Amino acid sequence: MRRLLLIALAACGSEKAAPPPIRFLHTFSPAETELFNAITVEQGLPVEAKLAPFARGQQVIGEMLRAGTNCPDLIRIDATWLPGLAHDLLPVPDRLVASDWLPEAQQPLVPKRNDPTDHGGPGDPLRIQYSAIPATIDGLIVVRDAAAPAPATSSVQDLVAAARAAKHEERKYPLGLRVDGYWFVPWLRAHGGELWPAQGAPSPTDAQKAMPSLGYAGSAPQTAALAEFAHLFGDLTAPPPPSGEEAPEELRLWTSHDVAYWVTGPWQIGAVRERDRLVISPLAGAPRGGQLLVVPKCARNPDGGWKLAEVLTSVEVSKRFAEAFATVPTRKSALAASPPLVQQIYAALQTAQPLPRAPLTPLLFDDLNPAIAAVVTGDATPEEAIEGVRRGWQRLEKQP
């Protein structure tokens, strides 16, 4: 009996301990999560995944990282969150920095000086390091019906003209738009404006005065842009649905052929069944962004986090997401392996521009979205709405 016990103990001691699960906080949709779970099983990666709160995600994740408890090993974040989180993130390993990233994928990244306390490297103060790697590229594009002619140019004016030409008794609202500050950006930029000064500067420079932001006085161009945008609803665009029902209602209007020109992003195309009906056109001044993968300084298993990031940006996995959801990958080799529709989306995003790189950028929409909605419903004038937005953003500037 004693001999059998010793043999059993020896056998147990020879077994390798199971690797700890990689804790992953993500922004996947339910369908994307299903594919992700299948991939981790195939890859043999033990992952403990949780959904990140997209609404006010930067603040929630920032508080978690500053507390330093229950930190994930990898986080998938929106690109606009990075400036506010970069201080609490590890630098990207050299092997990942050297990958064949597309130029547009690198633009949202915030370089930082090497910190001697950062994990895994000497502190060379002259060396620039990145605190994130790009996971996807997205932004606003025009999805048009193959039977509808392309707008004369990518300008919002020519898009509106094309939609007006497509309007008839059976298609009263041929232009698909959303009452949202993100969708308002192309109209704002068409009038020479911008949401916020670059780097969140509290005082506008000469260059920023040439492109005035909504946060400062003297905003006649912005008022005109908001009036023009809001007027489209009930004219060329259907009245907005209840809050929270925008995505399914937009998909319904497209599927029923009520919309000929749909301003949306790659995130919506995954739910479209008749993809051979889609033709992608660019939209001048459209915002461009994406999702990033980051490893926090407080991660217990940073090596596991980077390993999962490497898998998620591999050609094989990127191709599967591109085929299933029209997700635009971030590597040249992955884009080359993607379906033609995804390559069309990438080409259309060439004229898009990132939102201002500033920690306050994600917070701006908390005031902007309801202000736009008030103008659309007639509860406020464009002047009143912009003045209210300005007051809200001034309060944001004063917060610690």
155: CATH: 3.40.190.10
Query: What does the mean pLDDT of the chain come to?
Result: 86
CA distance 40 to 42: 5
Q: Report the Cα–Cα distance between both ends of the chain, in Å, rounded.
A: 69
Rounded (5°) CA angle 278-325-53: 125
Of 306, 323, 347, which one is at a domain's C-terminal end?
A: 347
pLDDT of residue 109: 62
Contacts by residues 151-157 (CB-CB < 8 Å, ≥ 24 positions apart): 151/261, 151/281, 153/284, 154/281, 154/282, 154/283, 154/284, 154/351, 155/190, 155/284, 156/186, 156/187, 156/190, 156/283, 156/284, 156/285, 157/190
**Helix, strand, coil fractions of the chain, as percent rounded to 5:** 45, 15, 40
Tell me if 273 is assigned to some domain: yes
**128, 169: one domain:** no
Query: Does residue 228 share a domain with residue 153?
Result: yes
Residue 16 belongs to some domain of the structure: no
What does the pLDDT look like over 149-166, one tens digit per residue? Answer: 999 999 999 999 999 999
Q: How many CB atoms lie within 10 A of CB 383?
A: 15
At residue 214, does pLDDT exceed 50?
Answer: yes
Name, in order, each residue with C-beta under 8 angstroms of 43's C-beta and a sequence gap of 6 or more: 311
Task: Please provide the size of the chain in residues.
Answer: 400
| pLDDT above 90 for 21 | yes
The position carrying tokens 């633009």 is 107
d(CA 30, CA 292) in angstroms, rounded, equals 18
Given pLDDT bands bounded at 50, 70 and 90, which one contains residue 190? Answer: very high
Task: Encode pLDDT of 324-369 as tens digits.
Answer: 999 999 999 999 999 999 999 999 999 899 998 888 889 899 999 9
* Selected residue with higher pLDDT from 116 and 214: 214
Verify that 336 and 357 share a domain, yes or no.
Answer: no
For residue 210, what pLDDT is reported? 46
Residue 325 lies in a domain: yes
> Domain total for the chain?
2
Residues 61 and 103 grouped into a single domain: yes
Shared-domain flag, residues 155 and 60? no
Residues 317-326 have a mean pLDDT of 97
- Report the candidate in 333, 316, 173 with the shortest Cα–Cα distance to residue 239: 173
Q: φ, ψ for residue 220 (rounded to 5)?
A: -60, -45
Region 14-24: what's the mean pLDDT?
A: 77
CA 377, 383, 384, 387 torsion: positive or negative?
A: positive
pLDDT digits (tens, 9 = 90+) for 218-273: 567 889 999 999 999 999 999 999 988 999 999 999 999 999 999 999 999 988 98
Sign of the alpha-carbon dihedral angle for 400, 386, 204, 358: positive
Tell me the H-state helices in 340-381.
340-348, 361-376
* Alpha carbons within 13 A on the beta-carbon side of 338: 28
The rounded distance, in Å, linking the Cα atoms of 226 and 376 is 9
* Whether residue 167 is found in the same domain as residue 222: yes
| pLDDT of 198 strictly over 60 | no
Q: Which of 56-60, 220-224, 275-279, 340-344 has the largest mean confidence?
A: 340-344
Residues 277 and 387 in one domain: yes
| Residue 4 · residue 289 · CB < 8 Å | no
pLDDT digits (tens, 9 = 90+) for 87-110: 999 999 988 988 999 988 876 565
Range of weakest confidence among 75-79, 120-124, 195-199, 305-309? 120-124
Average pLDDT over residues 49-61: 87
Same domain for 268 and 323, yes or no, is: no
Q: Is the pLDDT of residue 283 over 50?
A: yes
Q: Residue 359: give the domain boundaries.
A: 139-287+351-398
Q: What is the pLDDT of residue 100?
A: 93
Q: 306 and 380 share a domain?
A: no
Residue 171 has pLDDT above 70, yes or no: yes
Neighbouring CB atoms inside 10 A of 90's CB total 22
Which residues does 398 contact at the CB level (< 8 Å), separation at least 6?
Answer: none
Looking at the fold, whether 364 and 251 belong to one and the same domain comes out as: yes
Claim to verify: residue 114 and residue 189 sit in the same structural domain: no
Evaluate whether residue 6 is within a structural domain: no
Of residues 28 and 213, more confidence is placed in: 28
Q: Give the C-alpha separation, 281 to 143, whole Å.
A: 6
pTM, two decimals, is 0.87
